Amino acid sequence: MVFDAKTLTYDERGLIPVITQDHLSGEILMFAWMNAEAVARTLETGAVTYWSRSRQAFWIKGETSGHVQELVEMRVDCDRDCLLVLAKQTGPACHTNRRSCFYTAIRDGVEVEIMAPEN
């Protein structure tokens, strides 16, 4: 079946959640949102493009920082209401300069930082 971004299920804001994973290591890099146009642009350009809820604008990841994400593969879940993006990440994915946004673990009831910012 030919994929059409319009056939996905979006929330009341017109957004779908996106999990971004390093295509080689399997590490979860970040979590963000796309609208139908961002999904289409990501597939067309190969540059992972989110919808920024705070700026209410398209967000080509790394456009400013250079920490771009090159699309390797997009996957859709069973309910068609979540996307998994496998990407080739240049530099850190997190705005804190860490490889991943998920750098805080909960261990024995305590928050532990498990990843340092990159230089």
Binding site for a copy of itself (CB under 8 A): 1-3, 17, 19, 21, 25-28, 30-31, 43, 73-79, 82, 84, 94-96, 98, 101-107, 109-111, 114
- CA–CA gap between residue 73 and residue 43 (Å, rounded): 9
Output 6 or 95, the one with its CB closest to a copy of itself.
95
Output 28 or 60, the one with its CB closest to a copy of itself.
28
Q: Is there a binding annotation on residue 22?
A: no
Output 30 or 48, the one with its CB closest to a copy of itself.
30
C-alpha to C-alpha distances, 78 to 56, 64, 83, nearest whole angstrom: 28, 34, 10
Which residues, other chains included, contact 54 with Cβ-Cβ below 8 Å and sequence gap of 6+?
none
How is residue 58 written in tokens?
A: 């398209």
